[in-house]
């Protein structure tokens, strides 16, 4: 998957602060668990923003707030030369001059269920294949869209109004077991 969406340097700031936290730990500093908790939250938000085409820009502000709190905890733990080095790296991350890769969290559990207003999309992994005609009949029968995923092999996407998707998913699981057992 080619990501064209930009996190406007917030992803690179995360990399810098994560590296700084690791360095301080290796130096024997007492880095509070709150730092790692906030880094995990920020990483999840940034990953969500980059992977979900419908994620609003405003969500990045939450990640930025988490990273600001991490900075306020980490920099007082640093020796002067380390603080200067990492402040320079942060500045380069913000201006786009730092060439580091954000470890994009492609946790498919988070991406499998997307909800937008009352529309829900659920991706289901299959260990077999269903003919398109069955998907079409399921779509008509439940009033939702059943289709193969464009992003992952052996996955079906069910999309539609939330209650209809839940009903279709429940009944589809029974149907899938039946079809699988009859092979």
pLDDT given for residue 183 in this prediction: 55
Query: Do residues 135 and 159 lie in contact, with contact meaning Cβ atoms separated by under 8 Å?
Result: no
Lowest mean pLDDT among 50-59, 61-70, 85-94, 149-158: 149-158
Average pLDDT over residues 11-24: 96
Domain boundaries, the chain: 10-95, 113-181
Q: Helix axis angle, 33-51 relative to 10-26, nearest 10°?
A: 150
User: In which band, very low, low, confident or very high, does the pLDDT at 168 lie, cut at 50, 70 and 90?
Assistant: confident
Query: Do residues 109 and 154 lie in contact, with contact meaning Cβ atoms separated by under 8 Å?
Result: no
Tell me the CATH number of domain 113-181, given options 3.30.365.10, 3.40.50.300, 3.40.50.720, 3.30.1370.10: 3.30.1370.10
The DSSP line for 80-129 is HHHHHHHHHHHHHHHHT-----------HHHHHEEEETTEEEEEEE-SS-
Residue 152 DSSP one-character state: S
The per-residue pLDDT for range 82-136, each reduced to its tens digit, is: 999 999 999 999 998 999 988 875 543 333 344 555 667 787 777 777 777 777 7
Query: Do residues 113 and 120 lie in contact, with contact meaning Cβ atoms separated by under 8 Å?
Result: yes
User: In which band, very low, low, confident or very high, does the pLDDT at 2 lie, cut at 50, 70 and 90?
Assistant: very low
pLDDT given for residue 141 in this prediction: 81
């Amino acid at each position: 998957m080619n990501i064209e969406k930009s996190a406007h340097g917030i992803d690179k700031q995360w990399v810098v602060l994560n590296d700084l936290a690791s360095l301080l730990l290796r130096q024997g500093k007492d880095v509070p668990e709150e730092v790692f908790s906030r880094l995990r939250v920020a990483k999840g938000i940034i990953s969500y923003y980059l992977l979900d085409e419908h994620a609003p820009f405003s969500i990045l502000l939450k990640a930025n707030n988490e990273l600001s709190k991490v900075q306020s905890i980490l920099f007082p733990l640093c020796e002067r030369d380390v603080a200067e080095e990492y402040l320079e790296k942060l500045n380069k991350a913000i201006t786009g001059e730092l060439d580091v890769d954000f470890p994009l969290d492609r946790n498919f559990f988070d991406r499998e269920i997307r909800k937008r207003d009352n529309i829900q999309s659920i991706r289901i992994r299959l260990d077999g294949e269903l003919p398109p005609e069955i998907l079409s009949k399921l779509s008509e029968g439940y009033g939702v869209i059943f289709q193969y995923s464009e992003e992952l092999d052996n996955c079906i996407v069910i999309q539609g109004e939330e209650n209809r998707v839940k009903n279709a998913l429940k009944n589809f699981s029974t149907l899938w077991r039946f079809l699988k057992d009859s092979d």
